Amino acid sequence: MARTDAVTHLPALIASLTERGRTIAVAESLTGGRVASAIVSVPGASACFQGGVVAYASEAKAVILGVSRARLEETGPVDGVVAEQMAAGVAKLFDADFAVATTGVAGPGSADGHEAGTVWIGIRTPQGTTSELFHFAGNRDEVRNAAVLEALGIIERASAK
């Protein structure tokens, strides 16, 4: 599914998860709750959406989501393993079948040695946990919106397996 189709396909994703008795949760940093907001904008989302955590600060990622402090100190929060640990942590927190996590640099400038637009998205499924690296162009808002759309697309692809 292309990023631009993610919101259009969201009602079908919610229906599919609900029909199969599957649940989802989200952990967000740079998207600041936008993924959760998109999901709950769909009527009936409460049948499959367990909840979400906006863990903007590294300490919140460690305390709430169980992200390794050592990893955060070593790599900073913009990291694939951090995204995976965020997804795994929120899946455990909400006992969800699927979980997605976003972390990165929205801009306007670079942070922690990463250029604006650098985004890691982690996904936790019953089969395991992975992450993907993206480089989005645009201003802060455009990067955040692109990350939301990509996260929704990743959820759809992962839940279809």
Which pLDDT tens digit goes with each residue over 133-159? 999 999 999 999 999 999 999 999 999
The residues spanned by each domain of the chain are 9-160
Query: Exposure string (b/e) for 45-54, b if CB count within 10 Å is 16 or more?
Result: beebbbebbb
Q: Indicate yes or no: pTM above 0.75.
A: yes
- Taking the domain 9-160, which CATH number applies? 3.90.950.20
Cβ–Cβ under 8 Å, residues 133 and 101? no
> pLDDT (tens digit, 9 = 90+) per residue, 11-70?
999 999 999 999 999 999 999 999 999 999 999 999 999 999 999 999 999 999 999 999
Q: How many Å apart are CA 85 and CA 62, to the nearest integer?
A: 9
pLDDT of 1 reads 41
Least confident of 7-16, 94-103, 109-118: 7-16
